[in-house]
Structure 1
Amino acid sequence: PDFDASREKLQKLGEGEGSMTKEEFTKMKQELEAEYLAIFKKTVAMHEVFLCRVAAHPVLRKDLNFHVFLEYNQDLSVRGKNKKEKLEDFFKNVVKSADGVLVAGVKDVDDFFEHEKTFLLEYHNRVKDASAKCDRMIRSHKNAADDMNRIASSLYTLGTQDSMDLCKFFLKVSELFDKTRKVEARVAADEDLKLADLLKYYLRESQAAKDLLYRRSRALVDYENANKGLDKARAKNRDVLQAETSQQLCCHKFEKISESAKQELIDFKTRRVAAFRKNLVELAELELKHAKGNLQLLQSCVGVLNSNT
């Protein structure tokens, strides 16, 4: 979870407590509480999805470490990677990228995997682009909420200067901006939870699917090289048994990963279609709810202002 923005606001709240009015302090405190709650809900939701995936996996669900994790009833201590581990990962990725370029040029013997390879490259790029645009959209909603907050505070200050009718007007409009700010912040939180997280999750999932296809392509190349090695060994009548053993191992590895990869990719399609349908329907319902709420606020405010004129 990313609590950095909320921590900054918390620090500002502590530093500016003496210079704020009671109303401003209460408002900022409520904002922080809402932000922390939204981040907590989002974190719990993502962990739930991940753990359900592991629990449903035919191999990983039997893993001893997973069972220990589920049954552990004390606080968990998790550390980040140190510099050495990060450097090792960097070099592994460089080697993998270079090898991936060589493997990518190999034409797949199975039409299913050839289609999946083409599709996943396009899908991954589209999800990556959508994720970046979604983040910008959410940031715009948050900026709009912050602007509404500043406008509401300024109007409230103007409204408390005097008891004139104009000041009452300022107070009423200030109340409208304050309420619409809350709705706008709620819209941003819902889009973050229902859409941004979903896109980021399936960005990682599509990368994992691409990695799976890379491992299968690597196994295919190894199998083809083993076949060539066996042909050479038979032609020279030297180390034939060793070449046959190597060829059989490569064949078994390739067939095994092909079988499991096919099922994984079919499951991935079923899972992502269901997840996008569920989250997009829920998000649309929430957006409609917030839009209706905003409309009611505007109608109510206009009604009150008309009755006072």
Structure 2
Amino acid sequence: MEESGLSISADSIRVTEVTEDGDALIFTITSQKLNSDVGVCVCRTFEDFEWLQQSLFSQEDVPGLQGVIFPPLPGKPLSSPQSQAQAKALKQLGFLALGDDWKSYCKALEIYLQQVANHSTLSKNKALESLLTNSEPPGKQRVHKGIFSRLSQAVGELRKENHKDLDDFFQNERNNNLSMTQFSKTATEKFLEVVLSEQKLAVACGHLSTSLHLCVNQEGSDAGNFSKICMKLSEVIDAVKRNFEKVADNNLSTLGLGLDMEYRGQEAKKDMLFRRTCKLVELETAVKNAEKAKPNKKAIMEEVKKVVEKDFDQISSIAKEEIGCFNKCKVTLLRSSLVDWCEKQLHTAREDHELFSRQLEACEQLCVTESTENRIE
């Protein structure tokens, strides 16, 4: 891998904390200098991350940039995803909108920064160094949209998405990406439904536990026995509630985050493949124009064709390398999330087994005690 020129160790980058400042969220980023124990800590808003992403997009002096799969930046967070805003946040962010501490969202931003910092081309951009090390935030700096502004019209031409590719490798990649994007989106949505159901069950158990607790000390001849039963049931239901909460949190922080990253990664790959397809259409148009050009314009059209052809070949070459790295990294990331998911759920299952075993023993003891007292009476 080429030297990035970045003074920060990519693997040391962490988004450790998030605080609210009015309607804005402030993210704390820590990292470590290369070959040093010196640490760096900065605070950034989401707009600062957007500034970095746009800076990466606008590198007109980088050959073949359109062949790069840009690490996906999560959508803009809503500082207080409550009531009506919660539905909007779930639609925009999915798993990243869940939780009061924004832990998953911070992890997604952390992965984004690490992917940029580990990229042989993107890591050379001075905006990354500035974002990670400057004590002052980037501010409201205007960034030229560069080559991607010229692609905005092409993005709207859906016919190019179905344009047949001349290269079987890229045609197969486009077909596979189309399927994988849909599959990963469906898997993410279905797993999100599972987590939301677990959270709802936890809330319902909490209400039931509280209701049982309110039945304690009711008047009546059997008030004492009834109160004991209600107290014990309340404890059991509260244990079930905490189990649902832990399982939902495990799902959210491991496999949920992994599926979200997989889906957004496939979308980023899809964007790159579409940019290359647009350049392919541009090349084919240039070839046709050169063939049909009149003698007095033949030389100019041939030169235009050579320039476009050179750009297209360079984009294709970079795109092949990017696809290889992307496929390798996505397997590693998804496998890691699956392993973490299994380990956490196994640990939680063992803890809950011990807890429920104690609750069962307590219930059995309560039944024995009640039976003994009844016989005495």
Matched, 1:186 2:279: no
State the identity %.
Answer: 25
1: CA distance between counterparts of 2:129 and 2:111? 17
**Aligned partner of 2:107 among 41, 45, 58:** 45
Q: Quote the residue 1:200 is aligned against.
A: 260
2: CA distance between counterparts of 1:123 and 1:255? 26
Q: Quote the residue 1:170 is aligned against.
A: 230
Once the two structures are superposed, the pairs formed by residues 208-247 of structure 1 within 5 Å of their partners are: 208-233=268-293, 236-247=294-305
1: CA distance between counterparts of 2:242 and 2:312? 55
Matched, 1:109 2:173: no
* Superposition deviation, residue 160 in structure 1: 4.1
Counterpart code for 2:240: T
1:16-56 deviation per Cα after TM superposition (whole angstroms, max 9, x unaligned): xxxxxxxxxxxxxxxxxx9434x2x2222111100001101
Matched, 1:123 2:180: yes
| Aligned residues of 2:254 and 2:338 also touching (Cα < 8 A) | yes
| Aligned residues of 2:286 and 2:305 also touching (Cα < 8 A) | yes
* Superposition deviation, residue 231 in structure 1: 1.6
Counterpart code for 1:184: F
Counterpart code for 2:252: D
1: CA distance between counterparts of 2:290 and 2:204? 71
Q: Quote the residue 2:128 is aligned against.
A: 66
Matched, 1:273 2:331: yes
Counterpart code for 2:157: D
3-state SS of 1:51 partner: helix
Matched, 1:157 2:204: no
Q: Quote the residue 1:297 is aligned against.
A: 355
* Superposition deviation, residue 108 in structure 1: 1.4
Counterpart code for 2:165: D
Q: Quote the residue 2:32 is aligned against.
A: none
> Which has more helix, going by share of residues?
1
1:160-203 deviation per Cα after TM superposition (whole angstroms, max 9, x unaligned): 43661231121122112222212211211221121222222222
* Superposition deviation, residue 149 in structure 1: 0.2
1:65-120 deviation per Cα after TM superposition (whole angstroms, max 9, x unaligned): 111111122467689xxxxxxxxx9xx87x4454232x233321211101100000
3-state SS of 2:215 partner: helix
Once the two structures are superposed, the pairs formed by residues 12-23 of structure 1 within 5 Å of their partners are: none
Q: Quote the residue 2:317 is aligned against.
A: 259
Matched, 1:134 2:191: yes
Q: Quote the residue 1:16 is aligned against.
A: none
Q: What runs of 5+ residues in structure 1 fail to find an aligned partner?
A: 9-33, 80-88
Counterpart code for 2:132: L
* Superposition deviation, residue 261 in structure 1: 0.8
| Aligned residues of 1:100 and 1:214 also touching (Cα < 8 A) | no
| Aligned residues of 1:216 and 1:258 also touching (Cα < 8 A) | yes
3-state SS of 2:296 partner: coil
Moved more, 158-167 or 50-59: 158-167
Q: What runs of 5+ residues in structure 2 fail to find an aligned partner?
A: 1-76, 84-97, 142-148, 368-377
1: CA distance between counterparts of 2:313 and 2:207? 63
Counterpart code for 2:107: A
Instruction: Name the TM-score, length of structure 1 as normaliser.
Output: 0.79
| Aligned residues of 2:131 and 2:137 also touching (Cα < 8 A) | no
Counterpart code for 1:167: S
Moved more, 69-78 or 267-276: 69-78
Could you say if the C-alpha distance between residues 272 and 238 of structure 1 is closer, same or farther in structure 2, counting changes exceeding 3 Å?
Answer: same
2: CA distance between counterparts of 1:223 and 1:118? 21
Q: How many positions carry a matched residue from both structures? A: 266
3-state SS of 1:4 partner: coil
**Aligned partner of 1:36 among 90, 93, 100:** 100
* Superposition deviation, residue 308 in structure 1: 2.1
Moved more, 222-231 or 256-265: 222-231
- Cα root mean square deviation, aligned: 2.4
Higher relative contact order (CA 8 A, sep 6+): 2
1:212-261 deviation per Cα after TM superposition (whole angstroms, max 9, x unaligned): 1111111111112211212222xx31212211210111011100110111
Could you say if the C-alpha distance between residues 230 and 282 of structure 1 is closer, same or farther in structure 2, counting changes exceeding 3 Å?
Answer: same
3-state SS of 2:135 partner: coil
Counterpart code for 2:202: A
